């Protein structure tokens, strides 16, 4: 008989003693901290890797030492749940984490914005809270195995908060000279490898379209896991942590690229406003096109797991959107 294919998932099946109650809570918190999702009662899953295997092994040991029973399996779903449905469980869990963080961050930003700039105590307290939120964001990223869509809004909210908490003399956005200096440091942008996170969605799809259509027609794209990636010579990162091009203050990556490249096309400005509203979820421009367009991109993401395919399909949508704004005449014209 042929050897069965290796499973994509690790599944922990456990039975905990009814007492003490705190032990059950401790194990639940441990699993939550690892980013595991419940497939059903007492059955938890993680994507298979050396790290997740070690994490689960420690939990198994803890359960057994506490008087419970636990089994760890390498699994491949062949009936019932599909891989896509299991991955959706991870998206749902991390989206909930990111949404809560985004809400808390924006509430703090609103509270700070209403305080006097001379109130040093308020600034100091807000800085401490911002550090806590940034740490919490990093902790969520560590268990975001598949790049949940809500991450981008949370990242943008934290960036906006940190920008607002800078000293007043530094709070102003980058000047045109600063943008040009940044471009000068990067050198030429033609024929480069552009790197971003796997599982491309709104801002990354739009930014890749902008790059290939208006900045680097010979661009090559590479999609990586941020936790495993180390920059290579000649690569330019976008819309990921510590990237050369990513969220800055209240600007999404698409807007940053537009500014840095000096693209003044009004049609692109309209596209940028729509991308901002889809990505930042702050209704900054209240573009009526945003809700419908994000549903189209969600459909592409659900139908196509390959990132290059997502870029091709999404790029066609942005081609049409750009053509519409290019040919649209001002009312009364």
Task: Encode 32-66: b = buried (16+ Cβ within 10 Å), e = exposed.
Answer: eebbbbebeeebbbbbbeeebeebbeebbeebeee
Report which of residues 92 and 180 the model is more confident about.
92
Name the H helices within the chain. Answer: 21-34, 50-65, 83-113, 120-142, 151-164, 176-186, 202-210, 253-260, 266-280, 290-303, 307-327
pTM: 0.54
Neighbour count for residue 330 (Cβ, 10 Å): 6
Look at residue 73 and tell me whether its pLDDT is greater than 60. Answer: yes
Residue 241: pLDDT band with limits 50, 70, 90: confident
> What is the structure's pLDDT at 189?
74
189: phi then psi, degrees, rounded to nearest 5: -110, 20
Distance between CA atoms of residues 205 and 306, nearest Å: 12
Q: Cα dihedral angle (24, 26, 28, 33), rounded to 10 degrees? A: -170
Contacts of 163 (CB under 8 A, 6+ apart): 171, 248, 249, 250
Is pLDDT of 169 > 50? no
| Cross-strand partners of 43 | 13, 40
Q: Which of 106-120, 183-197, 276-290 has the lowest mean pLDDT?
A: 106-120
State the average pLDDT for the chain.
Answer: 84
pLDDT of 182 reads: 57
- Look at residue 72 in the predicted model and tell me its pLDDT: 94
pLDDT score for 263: 87
What's the DSSP call for residue 45? E
The residue-averaged pLDDT of 158-165 equals: 80
Choice between 1 and 283, residue whose per-residue pLDDT is larger: 283
Q: What is the pLDDT of residue 6?
A: 54
* pLDDT at 3 > cutoff 50: no
pLDDT of residue 333: 39
Q: Helices 120-142 and 151-164, interaxial angle, to 10°?
A: 160
pLDDT band at 260 (very low <50, low <70, confident <90, very high): confident
Which of 48-57, 117-126, 271-280, 322-331 is the least confident region? Answer: 117-126
Measure the CA dihedral 244/178/278/204, to 10°: -20
pLDDT value at 321 more than 90: yes
pLDDT (0 to 100) of residue 274: 95
pLDDT for the residue 66: 92
Residue 7 confidence (pLDDT) above 80: no
Q: What is the mean pLDDT of residues 139-165?
A: 85
In the three-class reduction of DSSP (H, G, I as helix; E, B as strand; rest coil), residue 44 is classed as: strand
């Amino acid at each position: 008989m042929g050897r069965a294919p290796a499973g994509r998932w690790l599944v922990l099946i456990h039975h905990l003693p009814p007492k003490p109650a705190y032990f059950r809570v401790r194990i639940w918190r441990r699993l939550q901290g690892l980013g595991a999702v419940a497939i059903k009662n007492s059955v938890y899953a993680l994507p298979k890797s050396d790290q997740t295997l070690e994490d689960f092994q420690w939990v198994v040991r803890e359960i057994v030492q506490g008087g419970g029973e636990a089994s760890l399996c390498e699994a491949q779903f062949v009936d019932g749940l599909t891989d896509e449905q299991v991955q959706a469980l991870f998206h749902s869990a991390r989206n909930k984490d990111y949404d809560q963080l985004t809400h808390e961050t924006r509430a703090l930003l609103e509270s700070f914005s209403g305080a006097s700039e001379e109130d040093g105590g308020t600034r100091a307290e807000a800085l401490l809270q911002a550090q806590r939120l940034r740490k919490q964001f990093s902790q969520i990223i560590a268990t975001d195995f598949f790049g949940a869509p809500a991450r981008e809004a949370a990242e943008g909210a934290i960036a906006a908060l940190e920008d607002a908490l800078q000293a007043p003399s530094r709070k102003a956005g980058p000047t045109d000279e600063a943008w040009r200096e940044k471009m000068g440091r990067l050198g030429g942008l033609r024929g480069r490898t552009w790197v971003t996170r796997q599982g491309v969605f709104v801002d990354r799809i739009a930014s890749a379209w902008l790059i290939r259509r208006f900045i680097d027609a010979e661009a090559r794209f590479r999609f990586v896991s941020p936790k495993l990636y180390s920059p290579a010579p000649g690569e330019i990162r976008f819309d990921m942590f510590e990237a050369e091009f990513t969220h800055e203050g209240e600007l999404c990556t698409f807007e940053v690229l537009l500014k840095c490249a000096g693209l003044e096309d009004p049609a692109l400005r309209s596209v940028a406003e729509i991308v901002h509203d889809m990505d930042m979820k702050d209704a900054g421009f209240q573009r009526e096109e945003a809700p419908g367009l994000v549903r189209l991109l969600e459909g592409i993401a659900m139908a196509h797991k390959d990132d290059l395919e997502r870029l091709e399909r999404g790029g066609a949508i942005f081609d049409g959107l750009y053509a519409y704004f290019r040919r649209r005449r001002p009312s009364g014209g």
